[in-house]
Structure 1
Amino acid sequence: MLRLPRITVEVPVLGVGDRPADYEQLAAYADGLRKPEGLHMTLLHIGILDDFAADVVAWTKGATDPAAAAVKTADWLRALPVLEGFTGTAERLVLFGGGRVSGLDVEVPQHVRDFQVSLVAALRELLEDLLVDNPDDFILSSPALGYRYPRWHPHVAIGKPKSRDHSGEGRSGEGRSRERSGSWEIRPLKVEFGPSQIRNRQLLPGPGDGGHQ
């Protein structure tokens, strides 16, 4: 079955640590370590555009046209400001996605957090323009947006957590305790990020399109 592309605002990872081996050593903590060139950190998740538009239509009880919602959202995405590249620091690995994904817990500069907050504020304005009442409630309940927590937690997914049978081998009791809590301390790693971008931007509908990708 063809999986439709998800739309996100994200920053690509340009490097982890000072040399390739710094990232490769994380294989001791995660299975199926993702390729370095594919790493990124999500700032705002929109999801599948048609699904997002359908959520808007359902919320407004049909007052908003789905095609118009998709095109207006695409125009809004293209007009968002760009966050310049920055450097973060990771000192822990944490679990996400109900424990299915292992990721770097990244400490980012305050201006990055401020930028992410501004994206959510801009999303609220978009939703009001789409005739959505109570935008905050919509954001937390829209299946397309997929928000599980009201606060943004900067992280970079790197792979799947090690199986229980192997993740604790050769480690201290304290280390195993941290694993059970879903957090692993690691040697501090510098994480370099590039400018923000829209994932699958080329698939967004243009002005006058029918709103379908």
Structure 2
Amino acid sequence: MSRFAAPIAEQIWDMKYRFKQADGTPIDQTVEDSWRRIARDLARVEQDPDRWEREFYTALEDFKYLPAGRITAGAGTARQVTLFNCFVMGTIPDSMGGIFEMLKEAALTMQQGGGIGYDFSTIRPRGADVKGVAADASGPLSFMDVWDAMCRTIMSAGSRRGAMMATMRCDHPDIEQFIGAKSDPARLRMFNMSMLVTDAFMEADKADGSWELQ
């Protein structure tokens, strides 16, 4: 009898978390095998691994406790993957070299299975002057499109979609473009997006006042 309450649950386990060989042959024959794999790997660092493997297995058994997805998928597999689900990217510099250096860091993090959050507020708005090259800036949304394409490319080899979070300050000149970007269903599909709101913005909103972009 299946341990799973619904077929969709077993399907997700099989697709995203079940340990398999490179050709897709299952190594975890049952979800109990997954629990045992996780418990044994996490207990290795303890002074009494056998005891803690039993403790951890008991916690996992019958879905009483579910570790984060990267732990469930990676622990005990001996693969070079992260067991952390989420990472916060450092400040994105407002320069072409700096932006693409951060893109490289993001690609390497996603290759290891991590999801990443970024603040794109540091990139100058669309139309701003780019000194020395007689050009206008394309703005943060255009670089978000590059990140989106990278995420689709890096994750295309596996069954798990990439996960990214983009934020932007409420006073950034491109904030309205940021808010409206996902009204196009084909754009920025690998991003969740959130506006960074200040107390001052909320007070201005309550008072129906003006709000300066800068």
TM-score (norm 2): 0.22
Report which of the two has the higher share of strand.
Answer: 1
Report which of the two has the higher share of helix.
Answer: 2
Question: Which of the pair has more CA radius of gyration?
Answer: 2
